[in-house]
Amino acid sequence: MLVVLLMPAQWGEVLLGATWSESSPVVFPLGLAIAGYGLEVAAMLGFRAHGIAVRTMVLRLFAFPLPAVGAVIGLHVAGPAGAAYGMAVAAIMTATGLWWMLIRLHARPTAESPDFAGPMKEAP
């Protein structure tokens, strides 16, 4: 993506023809959206590694329509580039929520932790 962003406009027109002028404004926001989706997948892998992927179901259920809603709102506000930015914002919001849940999970004391204040087992 960085190569496409740093590429001079003349090179883009040579390589992609007439479509470059219409597609160049959406390259950056779509790159952000792809990065956001990658962060979502990384957080989900963290939950799966801990064997608790079910905890994210509520967030995923509410976050499911966000890319479509963001794209439609962005399309009405700023055209195709706005739609791409709306999708990027939705992906980053969902990734932020997932990572917040994963970090909070690590902040809680567990039964194996010496700081755990749960019921103590009696010796046999």
| Position with higher pLDDT, 55 vs 17 | 17
Asked if residues 9 and 24 have their Cβ atoms less than 8 Å apart, the reply is: yes
Q: How far apart are CA 94 and CA 62, in angstroms?
A: 9
Q: pTM of the predicted model, to two decimals?
A: 0.77
* Segment 7-17, tens digit of pLDDT: 888 888 888 88
Kindly give, in sequence order, each residue whose CB lies less than 8 Å from that of residue 81, ignoring residues fewer than 6 positions away.
Answer: 25, 26, 29, 74
Task: Report the alpha-carbon distance of residue 29 to residue 82 in Å, rounded.
Answer: 9
CA distances from 90 to 76, 93, 104 (A): 16, 5, 21
Model confidence at 77, pLDDT cuts 50, 70, 90, reads very high
